[in-house]
Amino acid sequence: MEDKTKKILIMRLGAIGDVVHSTVIAQAIKTKYPQHEVHFITASYICQLLENNKYLDKTIPFEMKNKDNIFYLIKKGLELRKEKYDYIINLTNATRNFIMIHFAAPKKLIKRNAKRVHAVDAFYNTACDAFGELPKPEMLDLGIDREIQKSLKKELSESNGPLVILSPGGDNDTQRQGRIWVDDYWKELGNQLVEKYKAQVLIIGSKTEEINHNQYLEIKNSKIYSGKLSLKETAALISICDLFISGDSGPLHLADAVGAKTIALMGSTHPRSSSAYSKNGRFIEPTIECKYCGQRKCKMITPPQKFTPCMCSIKPQMVLDLIEKSNLL
């Protein structure tokens, strides 16, 4: 039955990490059924990340500023209806999704598999729910822009040591406590990497994090890319690094999907569901019992405290020890 060409839409509007993880659905389906046509609808600013994904035939932008506009949702749903989808794979329970799905009128609706496993495995299981047994990818294969990658390699060609990217985050401190590492720890780690490995340290982050990230110029051999790159450029930059270090964040999962070696600093979120998926991923867990609570707000701190006990318990030396033990640089 599945030998006949099917038209499939994957629906995941955000966030970056979830979108990256859910590309495993297209990867698994197209590996077994290359004749199927797979589309992906996501937030317009994330679409650029999917432009070089060989498993997707089309990306459809969704304007998040209109996410609560009923007229926009109906219009978008009617646009989707013209595609005549055999399957829509809906990965969230957001009302906006169901409004669009109603007007898109697919032949069959598939919901996200509810089994509590790593996010990538959950999305893979969702694909299997629709199409039966599928080959399970060992690594995600997001795809990158080779011209941008080439340009960035040229820009950094004078760097003699390994390229290490640090992703300190900070933009979601008040919303996602327990995922952000201590500012001074990042500086200590960066300087140790420069001293021990002669590393070129690159800092990445969003435009809103740019001012805060300028403090990392205290790292001796560092360069700040925060706020200066598009998502597509960020993916290309990460793809050429020797090591990527981050808390649980969208950039961590992006790094994993472009094949980078990663170290995840895990605090409130459990590595079983949120650490890097591929064999290139390592993680460090807190040394205190209060960890993996899954809460956005930490009950152990009050403003103006910024860093949670679980993240504070992870020391720079622990990262350096893992790098040496695993020969990551």
Q: Which residue's structure tokens are 């199927």?
A: 36
Judged against a pLDDT cut of 70, whether residue 171 lies above it is answered with no
CA distance 34 to 55: 8
Q: What is the mean pLDDT of residues 3-20?
A: 93
Closest CA to 255 of 216, 228, 224, 282: 282
Residues 307, 231, 40, 2, Cα dihedral to 10°:
-90
What pLDDT is stored for residue 305 in this prediction?
Answer: 87
Residues 25, 270, 267, 136, Cα dihedral to 10°:
-30
What pLDDT is stored for residue 2 in this prediction?
Answer: 58
Q: What is the mean pLDDT of residues 65-75?
A: 97
Closest CA to 310 of 286, 284, 292, 278: 286
What pLDDT is stored for residue 265 in this prediction?
Answer: 96
Q: What is the mean pLDDT of residues 226-252?
A: 96
SS3 232: helix
147-151 long-range Cβ contacts below 8 angstroms, 24+ apart: 148/232, 148/233, 148/236, 149/236, 149/239, 149/240
CA distance 312 to 105: 50
Q: Using a pLDDT cut of 70, give the percent of the chain over it.
A: 98
What pLDDT is stored for residue 292 in this prediction?
Answer: 92
Strands 58-62 and 37-43: parallel
CA distance 229 to 13: 21
pTM of the full structure: 0.94
Predicted confidence (pLDDT) per residue in 71-101, tens digit: 999 999 999 999 999 999 999 999 999 999 9
Better-scored residue on pLDDT, 323 or 176? 323
**Element spanning 165, H or E:** strand 163-167
Judged against a pLDDT cut of 50, whether residue 281 lies above it is answered with yes
CA distance 27 to 25: 5
CA distance 322 to 99: 48
Per the DSSP assignment, residues forming a β-bridge with 247 are: 265
Looking at every residue in the chain, the average pLDDT score rounds to 95
| Domains of the chain from N-terminus onward | 7-131 (3.40.50.2000), 147-325 (3.40.50.2000)
Q: What is the mean pLDDT of residues 6-34?
A: 96
What pLDDT is stored for residue 302 in this prediction?
Answer: 87
Indicate the range of 13-17, 83-87, 168-172 predicted with least confidence.
Answer: 168-172
What pLDDT is stored for residue 243 in this prediction?
Answer: 98
Question: φ, ψ for residue 183 (rounded to 5)?
Answer: -50, -50
* Two tokens, residue 240: 């050429």
- Provide the angle, in degrees to the nearest 10, between the axes of the packed helices 16-32 and 119-131: 40
Closest CA to 174 of 319, 296, 68: 296
CA distance 95 to 32: 32
Q: What is the mean pLDDT of residues 290-316?
A: 91
Highest mean pLDDT among 1-5, 45-49, 291-295, 304-308: 45-49
Band the pLDDT of 1: cuts 50, 70, 90. Answer: very low
Q: Are 10 and 20 in contact (CB under 8 A)?
A: no
What region, left, alpha or beta, does residue 227 occupy, with left being phi > 0 and alpha being psi -120 to 50 degrees?
Answer: left
Q: What is the mean pLDDT of residues 181-185?
A: 96
Sign of CA dihedral 275, 15, 206, 307: negative
